[in-house]
Amino acid sequence: MLGLRLRLALICAVIILHSLATRAPALAQAEDSWSFVITPQVWASHIAKNGFTAPSGLGYSPITSGSNLLFNQFRAEDSGPVDSVNPQWGLQLAAQKGRWTLAGSFQYVTFETRSDVMYSGAVPVVCAPQFPSDCLSLGARAAQEFVDTTRVDMDFSVSYFFPDVIANWLDFSVGGGLKVIYATASREYGNLSPFAADVAAIPSHPGKGLYGVCTKDDCSDLGFRDRVKTKTWLYGLTIPTSASFHLTNDAKWLLPFSVMPFIGAETRDDRDVVYRAEQNAYPIATAARDFKVKRLDGTTAAYGVTVDATIRWLINETLSTYAGMRVQYIKGHETYLAYGPLFGMSVRFGVK
């Protein structure tokens, strides 16, 4: 519902701003005057890797069997998006004076990823304790994990423009900025095998579900849930850089190519979910006190890059539109990778 309201708001903004811009007087102004640009855009992204959560493909599914904790014996395969395209809706605002530009942008997206959780234990077959006929063979699928993620981006930057680096052919700009990303995710298992369904319903478990959760490192307070949540903050510095090639002599058709490196940190709160158990005294953990949990949250260094290649048409002094491709890569606790076509329209006020 929020996504629909956002789309309608962006469409209305384009119509209203275009109407206002076409009525604005095209008067020549001084070099030191301000102009303002607003740009709604949509990125039709294909999210190949969801790095904002720690899916089972990167850890281990905490499915249990009776009193034996079968951590480290399940892995995820074929982790990927449920939908081929997830539109990311954005809005950019810029203030320009002379060769300087102050800019801010906002971006919003929701998407779902899915993983097949496979049995990869030390024994060829594992069976549910209450129903010995419900078993899994090595390499069989126990369940699928579904991760619903909502992501919000904010970017702020200042840049300096160098016109005609190559006369009538190339312009260039470079600057510095700040990026903040906030992502929340809800995770649950679905399409359970009979084995997984039986394990999730064991009466002796402290709670129901296939996610093991504990606050202590020895997991003496172990409990189970059928759904867990994660929140992630990514924050750091950016270096927005752009080269714009003139495709026509009148410079109404341009080929902008922009690269924005990012370096910073990621802080993740996985709400005490257990992904892996490290052995203490025994080859296989037979009780909560026999192992120490390994978590996939906290703060770690992060880096990445966003690359845009577009074709822009300067329709008149106030209006321009563009289309092209965007690729984004971010590496923090895990890897985020997305790519796809990018579309937008810019409206300028206070034309020089």
pLDDT tens, residue order, the chain (352 aa): 434 444 444 434 433 333 333 333 333 333 568 999 999 999 999 999 999 887 664 344 555 544 445 566 777 776 788 999 999 999 999 999 999 999 999 999 999 999 888 888 778 888 877 778 888 898 888 889 999 999 999 999 999 999 999 988 999 999 999 999 999 999 988 898 898 888 777 766 666 778 878 887 767 777 788 888 999 999 999 999 999 999 998 889 999 999 999 999 999 998 888 776 665 544 444 444 556 677 778 999 999 999 999 999 999 989 999 999 999 999 999 999 999 999 999 999 886 5
257-293 pLDDT, tens digit each: 999 999 999 999 988 887 766 655 444 444 445 566 7
The architecture in CATH of the region 2-349 reads Beta Barrel (2.40)
Residue 217, C-beta contacts closer than 8 angstroms, at least 6 positions apart: 292, 293
Provide the β-strand partners of residue 48. none
**Predicted structure pTM score:** 0.81
Among the listed residues 330, 323, 256, the one whose alpha carbon sits nearest the alpha carbon of residue 44? 323
Q: Domain coordinates of the chain in residue numbers?
A: 2-349
For residue 339, what are its two tokens? 């790519």
Residue 149, C-beta contacts closer than 8 angstroms, at least 6 positions apart: 50, 52, 53, 110, 111, 112, 113, 183, 184, 185
306-336 pLDDT, tens digit each: 999 999 999 998 999 999 999 999 999 999 9
